[in-house]
């Protein structure tokens, strides 16, 4: 297992390019199952979760041509085996994204129930209820979901009891080939949902309202091939922006979408960080003075992203005062806290709130990553800590960040990857 070795104390400076969004590429790859024509996807980040999704598509019989770091061409073809086996799903819960397209086009699917996850139970009950409302029959046996719709899906109103990103994406992909109109209520508004709707529309789907709480879909007979460029990864961009702030640097995060980061930018400005969109796709982040503590609550988009909570918490260890960080999306997303504490951070957990006292001089330590975004938090803390930090199990980070050590080193960070 690889680890990162970081020598802290360098202010990040320079310009860094954002990769395509993992959480947009995953549903986009699943959407390729909705047509037998080739779909060409640009700006797919080459990260572990993408490789897992490609493996799953190939397992089902889809053809995937990977040009290395250029476009990816996926041909769903006519004869797919609509099965997502446990061996694949257990490594990536987002495999449940194939459920909607498989039932929508092949009228059946056999998808392993995702196991638990470090950050919470993360059931997919809302996905299954939604498919039932579209007429599918769902059974759970031997750890698998057996979904069937022998007469095809029928458009209906699907109201989510709570907002779910991949739940919205699953039902959106199931509805595009259903007979009649589907209305999704209490839909997720994340930019990745909007990006998926843009791809599906290029493939011939009829969708209105993506990005709002109500999405209307008119079912069509079939979808055709398309070419699409994935949006920038707002979580990677936000992580790099926090890197500039925590190290007292001056960084241009390029190739990003500033309006996807309004909640983070608002908090950074309140904390005393200079944040400016110097171009439609460039965010310049500069720390010019002491940081102030600012409370934060994670919410569904356009609120503060839960995927930036751990990174923000690392930043607040450097801020003057007390910051209360509340995690409202997942029930167990504070696993970075004990590791940050080993780096001398002062954080107390009270239910779904973490009380961060600062500023604290962090000291380098040997720490362990527990999940994708917690690992980002530990790397950020290592960049500012006194001395050397070793972050074990960086395979967590490799799931969702493309060459993060190269990007940080390009900004002056002293970070290297070691094979354990």
Q: How far is the CB of 254 from ligand EPZ (least distance, A)?
A: 21
Q: Which two tokens stand for residue 391?
A: 């972050």
Q: How far is the CB of 116 from ligand EPZ (least distance, A)?
A: 10
SS3 291: coil
Residue 307 as a binder of ligand EPZ (CB under 6 A): the answer is yes
Exposed (0-12), middle (13-18) or buried (19+): which is 350, by Cβ within 10 Å?
exposed
Q: Which two tokens stand for residue 408?
A: 């940080």
Cβ atoms of 133 and 149 within 8 Å: the answer is no
Q: Which one, 94 or 323, has the nearer CB to ligand EPZ?
A: 94
What residues does 63 pair with on adjacent strands?
75
Residue span binding ligand EPZ (CB under 6 A) among the ranges 56-64, 75-83, 164-172, 389-397: 164-172
Residue 330 as a binder of ligand EPZ (CB under 6 A): the answer is yes
Residue 126 as a binder of ligand EPZ (CB under 6 A): the answer is yes
Residue 394 as a binder of ligand EPZ (CB under 6 A): the answer is no
Map the footprint of ligand EPZ across residues 11-40, applying CB under 6 A: 23, 26
- Rounded distance, CA 371 to CA 121, Å? 14
Maximum Cα interatomic distance, the chain, rounded to a whole number of Å: 64
Residue 123 as a binder of ligand EPZ (CB under 6 A): the answer is yes
Q: How far is the CB of 391 from ligand EPZ (least distance, A)?
A: 17
- Sorted by sequence, the CB contacts under 8 Å of residue 143 that are 6+ apart come out as 86, 112, 113
Q: Which of 121, 84, 98, 130 is nearest to 31 (CA)?
A: 98
Residue span binding ligand EPZ (CB under 6 A) among the ranges 57-65, 163-171, 179-187, 239-247: 163-171
Residue span binding ligand EPZ (CB under 6 A) among the ranges 123-131, 252-260, 350-358, 380-388: 123-131
What 8-state DSSP symbol labels residue 259?
G
Alpha-carbon torsion, ordered 294, 299, 303, 308, to 10 deg = 60
Alpha-carbon torsion, ordered 147, 148, 154, 157, to 10 deg = -20
Q: How far is the CB of 79 from ligand EPZ (least distance, A)?
A: 27
- Rounded distance, CA 276 to CA 45, Å? 26
Residue 120 as a binder of ligand EPZ (CB under 6 A): the answer is yes
Residue span binding ligand EPZ (CB under 6 A) among the ranges 37-45, 99-107, 125-133, 274-282: 125-133
- The only residue of 15, 42, 58, 162 in contact with ligand EPZ, by rule CB under 6 A: 162
- Rounded distance, CA 244 to CA 271, Å? 13
Residue 124 as a binder of ligand EPZ (CB under 6 A): the answer is yes
Q: How many residues bind ligand EPZ (CB under 6 A)?
A: 24
In this structure, the strands spanning 273-279 and 296-297 are unpaired
Residue 260 as a binder of ligand EPZ (CB under 6 A): the answer is no
Residue 101 as a binder of ligand EPZ (CB under 6 A): the answer is no
Residue 372 as a binder of ligand EPZ (CB under 6 A): the answer is yes
SS3 110: strand
Q: Which one, 104 or 400, has the nearer CB to ligand EPZ?
A: 400
SS3 102: helix
- Rounded distance, CA 210 to CA 196, Å? 9
Residue 134 as a binder of ligand EPZ (CB under 6 A): the answer is no
Residue 164 as a binder of ligand EPZ (CB under 6 A): the answer is yes
- The only residue of 11, 44, 102, 165 in contact with ligand EPZ, by rule CB under 6 A: 165
- Rounded distance, CA 91 to CA 162, Å? 25
What residues does 110 pair with on adjacent strands?
83, 146
Instruction: Identify whether 256 is a catalytic site residue.
Output: no
Q: How far is the CB of 381 from ligand EPZ (least distance, A)?
A: 18
- The only residue of 51, 90, 122, 216 in contact with ligand EPZ, by rule CB under 6 A: 122
Residue 81 as a binder of ligand EPZ (CB under 6 A): the answer is no
Q: Which two tokens stand for residue 135?
A: 């007429």
Q: Which residues bind ligand EPZ (CB under 6 A)?
A: 23, 26, 94, 120-127, 162, 164-167, 192, 306-307, 329-330, 372-373, 400
Active site residues: 117
């Amino acid at each position: 297992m690889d680890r990162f070795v970081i020598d802290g104390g360098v202010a990040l400076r320079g310009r860094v390019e954002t990769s395509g969004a993992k959480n947009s590429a995953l549903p986009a790859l699943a959407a390729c199952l909705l047509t037998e024509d080739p779909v060409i996807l640009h700006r797919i980040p080459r990260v572990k979760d993408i490789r897992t999704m490609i493996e799953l598509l190939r397992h089902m019989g889809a053809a995937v041509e990977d040009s290395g770091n250029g476009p990816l061409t996926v041909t769903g073809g006519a004869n797919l085996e609509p099965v997502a086996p446990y061996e694949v799903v257990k490594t990536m819960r987002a495999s449940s994204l194939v459920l909607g397209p498989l039932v929508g086009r092949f009228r059946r699917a056999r998808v392993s129930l995702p196991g638990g996850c470090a950050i919470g139970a993360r059931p997919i009950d809302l996905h299954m209820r939604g498919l039932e409302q579209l007429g599918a029959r769902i059974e759970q046996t031997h750890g698998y979901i057996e979904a069937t719709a022998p007469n095809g899906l029928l458009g209906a109103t699907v109201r989510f009891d709570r907002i779910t990103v991949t739940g919205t994406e699953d039902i959106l992909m199931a509805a595009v080939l259903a007979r009649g109109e589907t209305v999704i209520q209490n839909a997720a508004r994340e930019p990745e949902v909007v990006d998926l709707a843009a791809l599906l529309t290029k493939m011939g789907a009829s969708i209105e309202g993506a990005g709002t709480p109500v999405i209307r879909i008119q079912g069509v007979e079939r979808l055709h091939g398309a070419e699409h460029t994935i949006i920038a990864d707002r979580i990677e961009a936000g992580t790099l922006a926090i890197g500039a702030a925590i190290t007292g640097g001056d960084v241009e995060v390029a190739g990003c979408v500033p309006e996807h980061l309004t909640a983070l930018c608002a908090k950074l400005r309140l904390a005393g960080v200079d944040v400016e969109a110097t171009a439609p796709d460039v965010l310049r982040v500069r720390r010019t003075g002491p940081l102030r503590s600012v409370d934060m609550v994670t919410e569904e988009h356009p609120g503060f992203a839960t995927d930036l909570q751990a990174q923000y918490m690392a930043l607040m260890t450097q801020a003057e005062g007390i910051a209360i960080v509340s995690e409202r999306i997942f029930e167990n997303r504070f696993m970075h806290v004990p590791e940050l504490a080993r780096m001398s951070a002062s954080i107390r957990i009270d239910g779904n709130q973490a009380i961060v006292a600062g500023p604290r001089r962090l000291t380098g330590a040997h720490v362990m990553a527990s999940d994708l975004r917690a690992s980002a938090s530990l790397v950020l803390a290592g960049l500012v800590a006194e001395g050397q930090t070793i972050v074990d199990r960086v395979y967590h980070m490799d799931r969702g960040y493309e060459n993060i050590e190269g990007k940080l080193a390009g900004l002056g960070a002293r970070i290297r990857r070691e094979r354990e």
